[in-house]
Amino acid sequence: MLQSFPTMTIDRVSASILVLFSLFVIWESRQLPLGSFRQPGPAYVPILLAALLLILGVFIILMAGRARSLSSLRWSEWRHGLAILLTCVFAVFAIERLGYRLTVLLALVFLVKGVEKRGWVSSLTFAFGMAFGSFYLFYTVLRVPLPQGPLGF
């Protein structure tokens, strides 16, 4: 007697991608020292987060029976997805040239104003807050080196 495969649902596909991503992170983190619980190395947190993502992804795959099937998915929002993807590509190539703050500012203004159609005040307030707030958190508090750009901005 043949047993049928479980229905491929939207949740199962998404969770499978998360599982593959977590395995990739774990595989790539092998090159960095793991350290110990008391003295964690650079690979410690990425492996810990990837393992958690792996466990949750497998759990979602197993429990995703009630979600809509993948064939029912309609691509009415494909323009939003494409805009987000292209903004990410822009950020990858612009961050070294323009600096972290200016790149994040431009990307967020485009996404919030251009894609989500919010007003100028809320778009600029959100973009400035995120660009400068995240820079302060990572660069000043956590001491993560971030690109400054040619203007020191």
Question: Which residues, in sequence order, are bridge partners of residue 35?
Answer: 40
The pTM of the full predicted model, rounded to 2 decimals, is 0.65
Helix/strand/coil for 35: strand
Domain final position from 72, 88, 108: 72
- Domain enclosing residue 66, as ranges: 10-72
**What is the 8-class DSSP label of residue 113?**
I
Instruction: Tell me: do 57 and 100 sit in the same domain.
Output: no
Asked if residue 110 belongs to a domain, the reply is yes
Check residue 53 and give its pLDDT.
Answer: 96
- Do 126 and 105 share a structural domain? yes
66/83 same-domain check: no
Q: Is residue 30 part of a domain?
A: yes
Q: What is the pLDDT of residue 27?
A: 95
pLDDT one-digit tens code per residue, 20-68: 999 999 999 988 888 888 888 888 889 999 999 999 999 998 887 777 7
Q: Is residue 101 part of a domain?
A: yes
> Given this model, what pLDDT does residue 2 score?
46
Q: Is residue 63 part of a domain?
A: yes
**Angle at CA of residue 92, ends 50 and 129, nearest 5°:** 85
Residue keyed to tokens 């989500």: 116
Which pair of structure tokens corresponds to residue 152? 């020191």
For residue 148, tell me if it sits in a domain: no
Q: What share of the chain is helix, strand, coil (3-state, %, to 5)?
A: 70, 5, 25
**Bridge partners of 40?**
35
Does 88 lie in the same domain as 47? no
